[in-house]
């Protein structure tokens, strides 16, 4: 990266400084986030595949448990067939207890037998109930059907199952449909969703029943001997209990399930307590349709919070965070590198400028020394010319030298403050020409110069005055100098225009080449002050016209602040 910066030119730095760090950040971030997104998508596909497996396992658990219960009914039918239906209650109770329906085969409410009789011949079923339970229980409810399927035997005995004894299941259309289908196919068939008669508490659940037809030989003289079958071996299920029994097996399935009968979707069979929360998270669901003894169950399966936590992959977020931090670090490094390069270039520029200024200062100092000697000789000649005695010459000459020293001291003190143009010009002309015999006029409005303009005009006036004294209008008797200035414009566009007019020296011609003094004046006016300078060589002397920007102060407070700063600088 440093080599790239080194090959860039100085003119490229502003745009580079603006756009490169942002570009580095965007590129690195895009690459990092792209990698994170790719890994995230891959992890999502993997998580989806795992959930498909988990959902399939949950469905297999439900179907497997149901077929286990179905096998219990097949075994019970075999038990009934072995005794030609002549089963007493004690034998049936012992048989059902041996099945362990409340332990290994939990989820089933019980196993029972419903006796088929003609309507009007309910006494046969009621006699069986009296023989089994020692109670007189009338078959209920009233019906308009030709047949009844009364529950005469149901184990294990508990409060819920006891409430179902004597109930005519054929009177209910949902149960009747399942029994008719079981008789037609001679296979176990499940009913649609119903409310079991065992639901005698306030905590009710949706239930369903599983029916298996059974026919025993009752002889031709039996009142019901011509019935197509003797009854149904059946099992009632509370759907919620069945779901808890299946999903509660170790290991617990990390899913949330809602199940409903496809032929009766308005009544859900069971629904996990966390199903709503699982679907609100926006996680994808898996829908499965399974055949449950002739009924189609629809299972909507969503991952639970346990699955989300176990399968949550933090890798994409770590990579994204690292990429973001790396992008910020690289962007800052680029910014710091640019600043370092800019600082190095600025140091180089300042160093070169300092060397140039130093060279200029040495040249100017050498030139000033020569000019000072020339001025001293000129002053000596003029003083000697007008002096009547050696004492008068020494007194006048010493005074003029002292004036030069004083003026130089004033200029030195005003280096870092605003200076009055008239005062600066007067001091400089007094330093060059003396204060008695020179013929010069200085006029113009009050004008303040800042630090840069003060230095530039000090050198400019010095050069112009020295040239006037050596070669121009002030080099001979009868010569004169008129310096005036005025403002043009106002506010931020105001300019200060200075007129330097020499006369009495005769015709002045343009020099063949520019000397150091002329170059120094141009460097100060044009280079430092961004102004203009025009020289007019006339028959009666040289005229110089200088113009440069001199914006007006916007507030009195700023002027007062500058004057206080000037006083403090002078005191130091």
Residue 347 CA to residue 350 CA, distance in Å, equals 5
> What pTM does this model have?
0.55
What is the predicted pLDDT for the residue at 10?
A: 46
**Tens of pLDDT along 282-324?**
666 899 999 999 999 999 999 887 777 766 678 888 888 898 8
pLDDT value of position 207: 96
Domain 392-571 is found in CATH 1.10.10.10: no
Separation between Cα atoms, residue 276 and residue 287, nearest integer Å: 15
Q: Tokens at residue 566, please?
A: 């000037």
Residue 385 DSSP class: H
Instruction: Give the model's confidence band at 406: pLDDT under 50 very low, under 70 low, under 90 confident, else very high.
Output: low
Architecture of the domain spanning 85-253: 2-Layer Sandwich (3.30)
Which of 2-6, 306-310, 360-364, 500-504 reaches the highest mean pLDDT? Answer: 500-504
Tell me how far apart the alpha carbons of residues 189 and 166 are, in angstroms, rounded to a whole number: 22
> Mean per-residue pLDDT for 436-459?
79
Backbone angles phi, psi at 436, to 5 degrees: -120, -55
What is the spatial distance between Cα 300 and Cα 407, in angstroms, rounded to a whole number?
Answer: 102
Percent of the chain with pLDDT over 90: 39
Residue 194 has pLDDT above 90, yes or no: yes
For residue range 519-543, what is the model confidence (pLDDT) as tens digits? 878 888 998 889 999 999 888 888 9
Neighbours of 174 (CB within 10 A): 15
Residue 560 has pLDDT above 80, yes or no: no
Q: Among the residues of 414-543, which ranges form H helices?
A: 421-433, 451-470, 516-522
Write down the pLDDT at residue 168: 97
CA distance 94 to 156: 9
What is the per-residue pLDDT across 500-515, written as a single tens digit (0 to 9) for each? 998 876 788 888 887 7
């Amino acid at each position: 990266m440093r080599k790239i910066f080194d090959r860039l030119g100085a003119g490229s730095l502003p745009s580079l400084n603006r756009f490169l760090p942002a570009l580095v950040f965007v590129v690195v971030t895009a690459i990092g986030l792209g990698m994170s997104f790719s890994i995230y998508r891959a992890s999502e596909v993997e998580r989806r595949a795992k959930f498909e497996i988990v959902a399939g396992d949950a469905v297999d658990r439900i179907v497997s448990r149901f077929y286990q219960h179905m096998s219990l009914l097949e075994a019970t039918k075999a038990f009934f067939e072995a005794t030609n239906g002549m089963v007493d209650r004690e034998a049936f109770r012992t048989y059902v207890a041996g099945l362990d329906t409340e332990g290994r085969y939990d989820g089933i409410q019980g196993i029972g037998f419903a006796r088929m009789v003609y309507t009007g011949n309910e006494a046969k079923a009621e006699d069986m109930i009296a023989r089994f339970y020692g109670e007189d229980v009338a078959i209920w409810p009233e019906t308009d059907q030709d047949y009844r399927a009364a529950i005469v035997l149901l184990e294990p005995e508990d409060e819920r199952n006891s409430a179902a004894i004597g109930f005519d299941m054929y009177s209910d259309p949902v149960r009747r449909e399942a029994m008719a289908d079981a008789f037609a196919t001679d296979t176990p068939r499940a009913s649609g969703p119903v409310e079991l008669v065992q639901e005698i508490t306030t905590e009710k659940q949706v239930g369903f029943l599983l029916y298996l037809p059974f026919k025993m030989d009752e002889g031709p003289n039996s009142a019901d001997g011509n019935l197509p079958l003797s009854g149904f071996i059946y099992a009632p299920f509370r759907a919620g209990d069945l779901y808890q029994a299946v999903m509660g097996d170790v290991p617990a399935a990390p899913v949330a399930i809602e199940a409903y009968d496809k032929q009766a979707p308005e009544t859900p069979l069971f629904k996990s307590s966390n199903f709503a929360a699982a679907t609100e998270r926006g996680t994808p669901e898996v829908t499965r349709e399974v055949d449950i003894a002739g009924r189609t169950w629809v299972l909507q399966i969503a991952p639970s919070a346990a699955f989300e936590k176990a399968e949550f992959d933090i890798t994409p977020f770590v990579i994204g965070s690292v990429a973001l931090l790396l992008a910020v670090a690289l962007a800052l490094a680029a910014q710091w590198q640019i600043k370092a390069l800019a600082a190095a270039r600025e140091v180089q520029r300042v160093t070169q400028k300092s060397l140039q200024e130093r060279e200029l200062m040495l040249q100017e100092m050498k030139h000033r020394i020569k000019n000072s000697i020339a001025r001293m000789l000129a002053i000596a000649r003029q003083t000697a010319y007008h002096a009547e005695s050696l004492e008068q010459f020494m007194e006048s000459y010493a005074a003029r030298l002292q004036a030069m020293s004083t003026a130089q001291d004033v200029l030195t003190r005003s280096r870092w403050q605003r200076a009055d143009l008239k005062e600066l010009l007067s001091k400089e002309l007094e330093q060059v020409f003396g204060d008695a015999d020179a013929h010069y006029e200085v006029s113009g409005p009050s004008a303040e110069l800042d630090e840069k303009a003060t230095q530039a005009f000090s050198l400019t006036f010095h050069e112009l005055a020295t040239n006037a004294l050596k070669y121009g209008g002030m080099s001979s008797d009868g010569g004169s100098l008129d310096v005036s200035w005025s403002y043009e414009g106002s506010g931020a566009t105001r300019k200060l225009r200075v007129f330097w007019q020499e006369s009495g020296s005769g015709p002045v011609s343009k020099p063949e080449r520019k000397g150091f003094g002329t170059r120094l004046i141009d460097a100060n006016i044009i280079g430092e002050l961004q102004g203009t300078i025009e020289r007019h060589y006339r028959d009666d002397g040289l005229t110089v016209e200088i113009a440069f920007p001199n914006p007006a102060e916007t507030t009195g407070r700023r002027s007062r602040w500058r004057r206080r700063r000037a006083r403090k600088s002078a005191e130091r």
